[in-house]
Amino acid sequence: MILPKVRDMRLVTIRRGGTLTDANHYLLALWAATCAEHVLYLFESVHPDDPRPRQAIEHARAWVRGEVKTMQSRAAGGHAMGAARNNRGAVRHAAYAAGQAGAVAHVAAHELGAAAYAIKAVRDAAPDGEAEAAGRLECRWQRDQLPDGIRELVIDDQLLRNDICWSVFDC
């Protein structure tokens, strides 16, 4: 589980009663797509002919550009998660990261799902004894990609949801 039982209104759009602006929602989607794309090679190296995770990432970005509707991005995310289901380890987590990125258009709080699954993918792909260090390095890389407009929000969200995100944000 990556979503809290009580929604953080900072991650709910203004039109739905929260405080998240469209501009910051778009930044969250782009950051999630960047996190997922960073580990996509782990899926594509095993399944080069399965486009679903890449399509989810592309849909997240297309949603930001106004080229696809929210539900199209969400559906692409669901298809990427479908690609994950019959896999294990890094391959599975990389596809889930892409699926979560696609879902950010629908629910902004999926942004941490993309990041957390990407970290899990890196950990699982690391050589024996190097998983924790690889995960911390990926976490720091992700934080370096954060735009200023959402940096404080995301890092605070990581602190609040770290326990339900497998403690991957201890970096």
pLDDT per position as a tens digit, 23-64: 999 999 999 999 999 999 999 999 999 999 999 999 999 999
pLDDT per position as a tens digit, 99-135: 999 999 999 999 999 999 999 999 999 999 999 999 9
- One-letter amino acid for residue 37 of the chain: E
Asked if residue 108 lies in contact with residue 97, where contact means CB atoms within 8 angstroms, the answer is: no
Name the residue ranges covered by the structural domains of the chain.
9-165
For the entire predicted model, the pTM comes to 0.97
